[in-house]
Structure 1
């Protein structure tokens, strides 16, 4: 099946494409050396989501992916927008690089995608890090409906609310987590459906990867109860709650969050060979 191409931008000087099973091109890039670490961004965002954080992870070979419909990737060809499909796309990136097993770090919708990689491709995952995310289905603690109404409303107030939810109104640093402006309307709608319909709750007890769950206790977008539910559902998972951190905890509590990720990966190195 041929992909619907939306004239994606070039992957960049260190970027390239993988090809998903349906022919969709998936953009990604690679930086650093060390054990491979797959980075999965949030809903409606490209790999730029990880820009400020990647230097912290330079002791690993980081692989940042553009989900279908973002960045250098094509839109989905057949209308199947789902977190499980995005997981298969990410595995196609590992295949393109000849990587048998990698650590996986997903935040927000990227954390939902990471859950499916761990469920469907357990032999491809070293350590698993799930940040500011949820299990879906019976394992969801929803956000306040007023927040969701504001985000669905006029662009100005919606953007201000998103900034507040991500990092707070006083944030002065770079903020690459507010969405990919190059996305088509179709892709944005697809991402919303994929994230909203995610439900890995029944499958999570089968996760075998060592798992770290990171969450901010001031996260109103994906309340911290979601992190607690995930950690209780995944066997042996470790939960770290970051005091005062909002949804983009990896930015507003960057030093602590990056240190926790690096500690956990060091405690669970990939098998030799």
Structure 2
């Protein structure tokens, strides 16, 4: 497993597969690259996919110190540098979409085009999940909390016909301190003031029935980023990219081809 070394000496594990123009795939909070396992091959007809294990996850180092979405973006740059990739398309989902926002803001010369999935601008301008959702995720019994997360990620029909294992419910091997650090990083994200500075062609995608990261955040992002497009996938919850991959993956590929 190759690793890139960041400016602070943290080792970040990464995975590069396929051939073609580079496409960085960024996972959700407290998840490793396995978030993308079920859909990654959708892009390999024309793309070389690049994933990483965020610090605190997978085979990356897990320092017990503050994390942030800006820091995660710096880690992505370290991976691209290690691979010798000057410029890439970036597709970030959930917290990965927050990381992708900072990539496009702070490293515009490294981002050719940008796809933001099931994410939000963060801060006071974002739409927070409702109290019932927060309470369901905070249940002290792990099995019940996991079941609540599963219901927020997928529709009942999908769960009934796809018994798992699920790769989007978090890295179970993460130490407790890393989980806390990831949660704090995502919660403290606020790119609202910087979003108008994004110059990369941008597509915002969201499930119409997403309660984990409320759908109302999608038009906020699209309106805030100059020239951004918006697509809502009807009936989809948070993991739209997996359950509705037959819609989502071709949609992303068509957008990337338009801006290659």
CA distance in structure 1 between the aligned counterparts of 2:138 and 2:106, rounded to whole angstroms:
33
Deviation at 1:76, TM superposition (A): 3.2
Contiguous gaps of at least 5 residues in structure 2 = none
Normalized against structure 1, the TM-score is what? 0.91
**Deviation per residue, 1:13-52 (Å, 9 max, x gap):** xxx1011110000011111100000111000000000001
In the TM superposition, 1:1-273 aligns within 5 A as: 11=1, 16-58=2-44, 59-76=46-63, 79-153=65-139, 154-170=141-157, 171=159, 172-173=161-162, 174=164, 175-269=166-260
Normalized against structure 2, the TM-score is what? 0.96
Tell me the SS of whatever aligns to 1:158: helix
Deviation at 1:139, TM superposition (A): 2.7
Deviation at 1:168, TM superposition (A): 2.4
Report the aligned-residue RMSD.
0.9
CA distance in structure 1 between the aligned counterparts of 2:194 and 2:183, rounded to whole angstroms:
22
Tell me the SS of whatever aligns to 1:189: helix
Tell me the SS of whatever aligns to 2:100: helix
Corresponding residue pairs, total: 254
Contiguous gaps of at least 5 residues in structure 1 = 1-10
CA distance in structure 2 between the aligned counterparts of 1:218 and 1:82, rounded to whole angstroms:
28
CA contact under 8 A between 1:39 and 1:106: conserved in structure 2? yes
